[in-house]
């Protein structure tokens, strides 16, 4: 038989259909077959349908790289995803793989009601199940907006196929009256000025046009940028991936490079599964990055959820780990909201590679990355020319922007499960050690109704307390923790007060603000839930204390009374047992902020016994 005849024979007689040869392969198209009770038929049928798309047997024999497409017209942070998919496909196909993109849900901050956090776990389930269900040898996860990257990593760890992250990248800053502005620190700063009457409606209208002048994620060290840097710290994304602008050609080259790495990952499947790449040291590196960049408080919640997905790491890292690492990590990146600059400045200063050179002494250099090299090897093999100090927004290690503990974890009778504060973003540092009378709002609606009441009994020394914006109390834990300064006080020029809640705050916001108080106020056992106007609250960030000056007896007495009310009034904690749909699933199974707000049944440990039936 001639060579040509031999090839023709190979095409005509496909051994995939040989009934005497069992299908044992766990890679390519043969993995994860749909169940028809006959694996050969399942593979036969799979090929019938994928050939409808024009694929050849040659294409179908390649490693399959799934590309998760989170494009949505409701998500301007992801507007460049079609171009990124093209870039990844180019990288995959130039390196011998077959790239197949598929959608999952997309979450954009301001288009997600009640909050994007409410949908994060849904997106993680979608990601996990679609990665698991479809025949991908490795997967490129394209995300960007705040909740998308943590959701993708949570799902990716649980699915445990090799994953590589690619973010859409930060937007460019805009300009107003000659001053650079950008989403979304300047959204909040300018809105506060408008509320205080220092800028007028004309100004705020034209500012609105300039805050997000291009596609991409918020251009400051908000949650999206923080999570992008954290992904590099974890080793899950190439270094340049964190900061290249969404609209740059560099971003497209990173997409191509990610496709190349994805194909390479299929040759080291066991080594590069996320549960193998991610070690305790990876997480310690990521937390070091978080502290060094003055990252978003939201990242703490996400990291706790991500840790909880990893069977070997869960339980070994908690809020105290975040605090301990903070005590030895200086804040060296001068970006809003802790500093003055934008993500494009960070990128132009050398981005994550430059940061790693600055904080190298704090990193575990043997931690693995998705390229198959360790962090130390990656630092060593990438050419690096330091940007002159005066042009860089990365401060010297020994002359940091903030000495240590950008993010602190507070504990005390008011937050036995912990609370998080971004101390470096405090506008009045004296408030980091402060006692004052509580002014309590029982929920967001109550706050909205009374905060600007001229008769509100409040002074700049008061402590503003907002209850019931936690994970269950206000499903989705809204970013309402940035309680506005009451207008009568703001109009005196006061920019900051001590503010406390069980909610979250945008990573782009700043102030002396204690967040994620656990247990949340909706929990009948919560001390936050029994605080009343006039109670004296003490916060001492240096000593890591958050306390209400009440006796234990008084606290227990109030908790007893309140537990009764929760039952009688069918408050959310009680009512959640009978709520239908995703909302019911969310409310019954979401865990507290100190554990990341994940659904208990999605964690590596699974549900607690009482929820397991």
For binding to ligand FES (CB under 6 A), which residues are involved?
A: 77, 108-109, 145-146, 183-184, 217-218, 222, 224
Nearer to ligand FES, 112 or 371 (CB): 112
Q: Are 241 and 232 in contact (CB under 8 A)?
A: yes
* Residue that has been written with the tokens 């190439």 in this structure: 238
CB of 207 to ligand FES, least distance (A): 16
Phi, psi of 537 (to 5 degrees): -115, 135
Rg, the chain, Cα only: 26
CB of 77 to ligand FES, least distance (A): 3
What DSSP letter does each residue of 393-407 carry, written as one string? SBPPTTS-SBSS-SE
CB of 560 to ligand FES, least distance (A): 43
Residue 240 neighbours by CB under 8 Å, 6+ apart: 250, 254, 351, 352, 353
Nearer to ligand FES, 167 or 393 (CB): 167
CB of 326 to ligand FES, least distance (A): 24
The CA-based angle 133-136-139, given to 5 degrees, is 110
CB of 219 to ligand FES, least distance (A): 9
Rounded to whole angstroms, the Cα distance separating 15 from 112 reads 49
Nearer to ligand FES, 112 or 266 (CB): 112
Three-state secondary structure along 94-130?
HCCCEEEEEECCCCCHHHCCCCHHHHHHHHHHHHHHH
CB of 73 to ligand FES, least distance (A): 14
Nearer to ligand FES, 108 or 363 (CB): 108
CB of 298 to ligand FES, least distance (A): 11
Nearer to ligand FES, 106 or 467 (CB): 106
Q: Are 232 and 290 in contact (CB under 8 A)?
A: no
Nearer to ligand FES, 183 or 458 (CB): 183
CB of 169 to ligand FES, least distance (A): 10
Q: Are 331 and 424 in contact (CB under 8 A)?
A: yes
Six-digit token pair at 612?
Answer: 């397991």
513 burial class (0-12, 13-18, 19+ CB within 10 angstroms)? buried
Six-digit token pair at 156?
Answer: 């990716």
CB of 70 to ligand FES, least distance (A): 11
Peptide bond into 610 cis (omega under 30): no
CB of 479 to ligand FES, least distance (A): 11
Nearer to ligand FES, 75 or 424 (CB): 75
Nearer to ligand FES, 183 or 489 (CB): 183
Nearer to ligand FES, 108 or 151 (CB): 108
Nearer to ligand FES, 98 or 107 (CB): 107
- Measured N-to-C along each axis, helices 223-234 and 148-159 cross at an angle, to the nearest 10 degrees, of 30
Q: Are 486 and 460 in contact (CB under 8 A)?
A: no
Rounded to whole angstroms, the Cα distance separating 287 from 293 reads 10
Six-digit token pair at 100?
Answer: 């197949």
Rounded to whole angstroms, the Cα distance separating 455 from 439 reads 13
Q: Are 476 and 117 in contact (CB under 8 A)?
A: yes
- Residue of 409, 435, 413, 464 whose CA lies nearest to 593: 409
How far the first Cα of the chain sits from its last, in Å, is: 64
* Residue that has been written with the tokens 């979450």 in this structure: 107
Phi, psi of 56 (to 5 degrees): -95, 165
CB of 80 to ligand FES, least distance (A): 13
CB of 303 to ligand FES, least distance (A): 18
Residue 556 neighbours by CB under 8 Å, 6+ apart: none
Rounded to whole angstroms, the Cα distance separating 461 from 539 reads 12
- Residue of 209, 189, 204 whose CA lies nearest to 511: 189
CB of 109 to ligand FES, least distance (A): 4
CB of 508 to ligand FES, least distance (A): 7
* DSSP label of 485: P
């Amino acid at each position: 038989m001639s060579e040509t005849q031999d090839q023709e024979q190979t095409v005509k007689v496909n051994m995939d259909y040989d009934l005497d040869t069992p299908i044992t392969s766990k890679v390519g198209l043969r993995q994860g077959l749909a169940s028809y009770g006959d694996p050969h038929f399942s593979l036969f049928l799979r090929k019938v349908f994928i050939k409808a798309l024009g694929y050849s047997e040659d294409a179908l024999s390649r490693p399959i790289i799934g590309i998760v497409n989170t494009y949505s017209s409701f998500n301007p942070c992801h507007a460049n995803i079609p171009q990124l998919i093209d870039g990844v496909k180019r990288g995959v196909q130039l390196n011998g793989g077959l790239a197949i993109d598929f959608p999952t849900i997309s979450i954009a901050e301001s288009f997600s009601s009640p909050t994007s956090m409410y949908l994060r776990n849904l997106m993680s389930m979608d990601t996990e199940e679609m990665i698991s269900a479809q025949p991908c040898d490795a997967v490129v996860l394209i995300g960007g907006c705040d909740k998308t990257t943590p959701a993708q990593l949570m799902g990716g760890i649980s699915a445990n196929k090799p994953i590589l992250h690619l973010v859409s990248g930060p937007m460019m800053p805009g300009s107003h009256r000659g001053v650079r502005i950008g989403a979304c620190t300047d959204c909040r700063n300018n809105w506060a000025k408008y509320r205080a009457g220092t800028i007028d409606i004309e100004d705020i209208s034209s500012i609105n046009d300039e805050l997000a002048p291009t596609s991409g994620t918020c251009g400051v060290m908000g949650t999206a940028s923080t999570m992008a840097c954290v992904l590099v710290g974890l080793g899950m994304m190439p270094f340049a991936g964190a900061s290249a602008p969404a609209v740059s050609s560099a971003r497209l080259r990173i997409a191509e490079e990610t496709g190349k790495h994805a194909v390479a990952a299929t040759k080291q499947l066991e080594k590069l599964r996320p549960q193998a790449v991610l070690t305790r040291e990876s997480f310690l590196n990521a937390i070091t990055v978080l502290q060094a960049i003055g990252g978003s408080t939201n990242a703490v919640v996400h990291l706790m959820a991500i840790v909880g997905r990893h069977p070997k790491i869960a339980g070994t890292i908690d809020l105290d780990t975040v605090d301990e690492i903070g005590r030895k990590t200086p804040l060296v990146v001068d970006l809003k909201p802790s500093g003055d600059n934008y993500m494009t400045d960070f990128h132009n200063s050398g981005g994550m590679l430059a940061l790693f050179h600055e904080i190298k002494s704090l990193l575990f250099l043997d931690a693995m990355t998705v390229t198959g090299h360790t962090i130390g090897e990656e630092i060593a093999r990438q050419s690096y020319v330091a940007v002159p100090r005066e042009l860089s927004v990365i401060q010297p290690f020994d002359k940091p922007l903030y000495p240590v503990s950008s993010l602190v974890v507070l504990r005390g009778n008011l937050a036995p499960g912990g609370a998080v504060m971004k101390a470096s973003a405090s506008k009045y540092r004296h408030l980091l050690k402060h006692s004052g009378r509580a002014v309590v709002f029982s929920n967001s609606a109550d706050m909205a109704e009374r905060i600007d009441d001229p008769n509100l009994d409040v002074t700049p020394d008061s402590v503003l307390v907002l209850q019931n914006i936690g994970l269950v109390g206000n499903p989705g834990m809204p970013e309402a923790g940035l309680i506005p300064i009451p207008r009568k006080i703001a109009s005196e020029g006061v920019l900051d007060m001590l503010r406390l809640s069980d909610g979250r705050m945008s990573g782009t916001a700043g102030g002396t603000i204690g967040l994620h108080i656990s247990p949340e106020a909706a929990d009948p056992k919560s001390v936050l839930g029994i605080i009343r106007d006039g109670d004296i609250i003490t916060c001492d960030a240096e000593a890591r204390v958050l306390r209400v000056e009440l006796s234990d007896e008084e606290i227990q007495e109030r908790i007893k009374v309140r537990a009764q009310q929760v039952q009688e009034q069918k408050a959310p904690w009680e009512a959640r047992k009978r709520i239908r749909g995703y909302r019911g699933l969310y409310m019954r199974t979401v865990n507290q902020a100190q554990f990341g707000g994940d659904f208990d049944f999605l964690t590596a440990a699974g549900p607690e016994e009482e929820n397991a039936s």
